Amino acid sequence: MVDPKTLFIASLEAGREFLRPPAEREDTQEPRSAPSIVPIRSLGENHRERIAQHLLKLTPHDRYLRFGHWTHDEQIQRYADSIDFDRDEIFGIYNRKLELIAVAHLAYAKDQQHDSCAEFGVSVLSSARGRGYGARLFDRAAMHATNDGVSLMFIHALSENAAMLKIARNAGAIVERDGMESEAYLRLPPASLDSRVSEMIEEQIAQTDYRLKSQAKSFWSFLADLQKIRHDTIDANQRSSS
């Protein structure tokens, strides 16, 4: 369960996010360690286009690992358009520029006979690798699945997708390999008061973080516009006086 100290630290990190000016080359920086708390937000219908943009930014090989086959832009767009937000759960991590750098899809079985099962899939942009975001998203999805009555979470991945299978093994999943493909199965414990409260707090932290990032982006954009107007005015005055 998230304790008050953790919540306080998250608030401080979010506040610093507002005051720090945006980096011009943020996406080209070397990977760094993830912060102690990674705000992971549940995504809805209004995030569909940003999910599509995230997936379209994946390299061809990353798309291959994520979906198990080579995919074109049109296939990616069809996948994003077909997400059923009423049935499935989508989780995402936003950076300071409000770009989705990591997305997880918790897909519930369509067959009611298997309604206690869900499949997990995740994608992380290359610029955000090495920070443990995939594992954080897996934990977040597992928590939600537990609270939603799911008893078995599984991952279908290519056997060469070592990063995904490592996440599954570290979580205690049983991995079975069948040639080029592998299946990982994780038995989930029953929901508890702790798991339910923890999920509510984590979602609240993520929503607060998103609002602050949105406000920070608008604030720094406003300052940039003022700076441009100032420079244009100075240039105009210099031209008129020459």
State mean pLDDT over 29-56: 82
Judged against a pLDDT cut of 50, whether residue 28 lies above it is answered with no
Residues 79, 107: contact at Cβ < 8 Å?
no
CA-based nearest residue to 40, from 204, 195, 216: 204
C-alpha distances out from residue 143 to 91, 166, 184, 195, Å = 12, 19, 17, 7
DSSP assigned state of 231: H
pLDDT of residue 96: 84
pLDDT in tens, 183-222: 999 999 999 999 999 999 899 888 888 888 777 766 556 5
pLDDT of residue 22: 55
β-bridge partners, 43: 90
C-alpha distances out from residue 174 to 20, 123, 163, 184, 218, Å = 43, 21, 15, 5, 46
pLDDT of residue 109: 81
Sheet containing 181-187, strands listed edge to edge, beginning at the edge strand earlier in sequence: 41-43, 89-94, 100-108, 117-124, 152-158, 181-187, 174-178
pLDDT of residue 237: 65
What are the strands, taking DSSP E only, across the chain? 41-43, 89-94, 100-108, 117-124, 152-158, 174-178, 181-187
Domains of the chain and CATH, by start: 4-20+31-236 (3.40.630.30)
Distance (Å, rounded) from C-alpha 15 to C-alpha 11?
6
Looking at this protein, which amino acid is placed at residue 56?
L
β-bridge partners, 158: 181
State mean pLDDT over 24-43: 64
Looking at this protein, which amino acid is placed at residue 172?
G
pLDDT in tens, 46-84: 999 999 999 999 999 999 999 999 999 999 999 999 999
Distance (Å, rounded) from C-alpha 156 to C-alpha 41?
24
State mean pLDDT over 33-42: 77
Mean pLDDT of the chain: 83
